Amino acid sequence: MPKRATLSEEIKAEALRLGFAQCGIARADAHDGRTALSEWLGDGNHGSMAWMEERAVQRAAPQSLWPEARSVIALGMSYAPAIDPLALADEGHIGRISVYAQGGDYHDTVKRNLKALARWMVERMPCELKVFVDTAPVMEKPLGAAAGLGWQGKHTNLVSRQEGSWLFLGCIMTTLELEPDAPHDDRCGNCDACQRACPTDAFPKPYRLDARRCISYLTIEHKGPIPHEFRHAMGNRIYGCDDCLAVCPWNKFADAARANKAFAPRAELVAPELADLLALDDAGFRAVFSGSPIKRIGRDRMVRNVCIAAGNSGDVSLRPALNRLSSDADEAVAEAARWALEELKG
């Protein structure tokens, strides 16, 4: 007789059927990040992300968030790009958007599939469970490492031997006692490609990110004017930065054909013209970025970022649009436009 699949194996098979690229299981007490998180927050590396500090106790370990949890099912969904994320680095008239934000909002897709897996579990094995993707105080990356999906690389993101650096992470906590997987070994070795690639030196040391220097943080989370010391380094990046991920050698194993089709890049977000983005008002912003994770930063933050890219572009044809924005109602936009005009004088 063929050997019957274990409960853990059945869950993994269903996860793959639902579109997840990877699924692993860890005990709920397999990771306790209190010390590392406390040190990171104590050094101010979270910048203005007050929510990181406010719920630090719950974030540190699964059972701090939900004491009844016994197992964590960690899941990864691929968004591996078909083209090199660094290909447009020298195209000054183009705004570069991080690969993860060029398609549909991952929050919606990952959560929908997590809920589908949760329903499947409850129908077959009565239990309590909770699903999480990015918006709750859960440390998905160390939990993914504990569940064997990969390891946290020197750039602090999860790296998979099969999917490289291109995984959206989510998890299901449950009261079930499931057979855990072995945690993944660190396979970075002596490689420091991600550290050398960072345009703003956002890594004070390997495995430690100072968000205050990170272009992803500056363009997405940071409100108000962007510090001048980082503006030239931003180049034409207007939403996020893929540099430290894109240079990881493990990405040679990532296959864009395995990426979830919900994250297929939208043509208008792959290589948007700065001139078009500088013209956006609130209604125009909402129309362009409907269904995208970019919509949450709002028009003002996006146009602020685009002004800085315009200042770095050397394209004097953008001056009229920048002149108009130099008196924008949002002072961060207006200040960035004035800075850009000064840059283009040169």
The catalytic residues are 134
Contact assessment for residue 168 and residue 76, using Cβ atoms and an 8 Å cutoff: yes
Please report the sign of the dihedral spanned by the C-alpha atoms of residue 142, residue 77, residue 4, residue 123: positive
Query: C-alpha distances in angstroms, 173 versus 20, 32, 34, 128, 265?
Result: 17, 15, 19, 8, 31
Cβ partners under 8 Å of residue 302, min gap 6: 238, 239, 277, 280, 285, 289, 294
Nearest to 134 by CA among 264, 290, 293: 293
The residue assigned the tokens 């969904």 is 77
| 200 token code pair | 């703003």
At 128 the three-state DSSP class reads coil
Length of the chain: 346
Phi-psi region of 36 (alpha: psi -120 to 50; beta: other; left: phi over 0): alpha
How distant, in Å, are the alpha carbons of 157, 166, 264 from that of 84?
A: 19, 12, 14
Rounded Cα distance between 102 and 271, Å, is 10
